[in-house]
Amino acid sequence: MTVRRPYVLLSVAMSIDGHIDDATPERLVLSGPEDLDRVDRLRAGSDAVLVGAGTLRGDNPRLLVNSPLRREERLALGLPAHPLRVVLTGGGDLDPALRFWHHGDERVVYAPDHALPRLKQLDGLAEVVGTGPELDLDAVLDDLGARGVRRLMVEGGSSVHTMFLTAGLADEIQLAVAPFFVGVDAAPRFVNAGRFPQDALHRMILAETRTVGDIALLRYLVPRPTDPTRLNEADRRRLARAVELSRHCPPSETAYSVGALVVAEDGTELARGYSRETGPTVHAEQAALARIDPDDPRLRRATLYTTLEPCSARASSPTPCAQLVLAAGIPRVVLAWREPPRFVADCQGVELLEQAGVTVLECPELAAEAREVNAHLA
């Protein structure tokens, strides 16, 4: 069985010139009290919080939920007062006297197998897990997913953020920009040099901007072009938009109300449509695809978001929607629910698409909303 990996949120505060610290031995505080409270809220809403060994040595943090009220809220939900706290180390150089080991609840350390002997000093302080010959983030995320971690907050430092981003394993970045400069070349930055999937041709999605005290908070969603087989937050947001579209459908007692979006790899919406939008027998996918030039090269890397499984047979047209998707060359489909047997005894839309090599992903958390739009057909 495939393990569901956690949603990975990178949290970082930096100066206007991109530094997360200065070059002095003392830790540079970039955030004000309002932003520190925001970070505490993020921790409280996470299943695990992760840092690298360098951050642990340099900042000596506890990585706890500081608010008593938030700890109480976690306990009321049957959760421990603090999230699982995670450390990545490549060499095993971790001092057992650091505060991290002596506060809070569960702790786990991930390291390559060759570093495990050096971590014997942490016996009784943390669980230590080997990741093979290298510090393997895929192995880390698989193990965390198997532990039930659904939301992972990564708090640095530079090397760890770089590892997650260059590997294409981040879903979101929350970037807090402090209103001053550090101005020191030797000071660490948010990320190190690397080859990032998010380049000028594969831009991230700016989902939110707001002020938090004197801090500017930028929230980016990070599409994963290297992992099309996994749902991310951008997928859920776009599918939710398709659900809203389905509410515009003219009522019918003989057909479902469906909304559909076609979105390019870079996040650009190419078209949208909904059932019966342009005619009494027009399907949502049909309406959306009719608005796109079939020779548009972006279709070959696009995603179709539809609230219902594309039809595999229909009486009102010789070409069912699954065939329209295949003809358009769309390689990825995200849907909310499978078609019930009310009008078609055994819809094979998903099977037809998958047999042709299309990646089909279901988003069950939005299925109830999609069904609610069609409650009159129940």
Question: What pLDDT digit, counting tens, does each position of 75-90 carry?
Answer: 999 999 999 999 999 9
Supply the Cα-derived Rg of the chain in whole angstroms. Answer: 24
Nearest-angstrom CA–CA distance, 140 and 110: 7
Q: Where do the DSSP E strands lie in the chain?
A: 7-14, 48-52, 84-88, 107-111, 127-130, 151-154, 172-177, 205-212, 215-221, 259-263, 269-274, 303-308, 332-337, 359-362
Q: Is the pLDDT of residue 202 over 90?
A: no
Nearest-angstrom CA–CA distance, 205 and 234: 8
| Stretch among 54-68, 171-185, 192-206, 233-247 having the lowest mean pLDDT | 192-206
Mean pLDDT throughout 347-371?
90
108: closest CA among 139, 134, 133, 78? 139
Comparing 238 with 197, the larger pLDDT belongs to: 238
Query: Burial level of 243, CB count in 10 A (0-12/13-18/19+)?
Result: buried
- pLDDT at res. 198: 86
Comparing 109 with 350, the larger pLDDT belongs to: 109
Question: What pLDDT digit, counting tens, does each position of 89-109 carry?
Answer: 999 999 999 999 999 989 999
Mean pLDDT throughout 254-279?
93
- pLDDT at res. 43: 95
Q: Is the pLDDT of residue 224 over 70?
A: no
Mean pLDDT throughout 186-198?
92
**pLDDT level of residue 302 (50, 70, 90 thresholds):** very high
Please report, as a single letter, which amino acid is at residue 245: L
Question: What pLDDT digit, counting tens, does each position of 44-73 carry?
Answer: 999 999 999 999 999 999 999 999 999 999
Nearest-angstrom CA–CA distance, 145 and 138: 11
N-terminal to C-terminal alpha carbon distance within the chain: 33
- pLDDT at res. 225: 55
Please report, as a single letter, which amino acid is at residue 185: D
Query: Burial level of 99, CB count in 10 A (0-12/13-18/19+)?
Result: middle
DSSP β-ladder status, 215-221 and 172-177: antiparallel
- pLDDT at res. 175: 98
Within 10 A of 364 (CB to CB), how many other CB atoms are there?
A: 9
Query: Burial level of 193, CB count in 10 A (0-12/13-18/19+)?
Result: exposed
DSSP β-ladder status, 259-263 and 303-308: antiparallel
Mean pLDDT of the chain, nearest integer: 92
CB 359 within 8 A of CB 333: yes
Mean pLDDT throughout 134-146?
93
Q: Is the pLDDT of residue 1 over 50?
A: no
Nearest-angstrom CA–CA distance, 166 and 54: 19
Mean pLDDT throughout 251-262?
93
Question: What pLDDT digit, counting tens, does each position of 115-138 carry?
Answer: 999 999 999 999 999 999 999 998
Give the bridge partners for 129, in sequence order. Answer: 110
- pLDDT at res. 313: 85
Question: What pLDDT digit, counting tens, does each position of 13-32 carry?
Answer: 999 999 999 999 888 999 99
The residues, any chain, with a CB within 8 Å of residue 310's CB and separated by 6 or more, are: 285, 304, 320, 321, 322, 324, 325, 333, 335, 349, 350, 353
The residues, any chain, with a CB within 8 Å of residue 46's CB and separated by 6 or more, are: 9, 83, 151, 152, 153
Mean pLDDT throughout 156-179?
94
Nearest-angstrom CA–CA distance, 339 and 345: 9
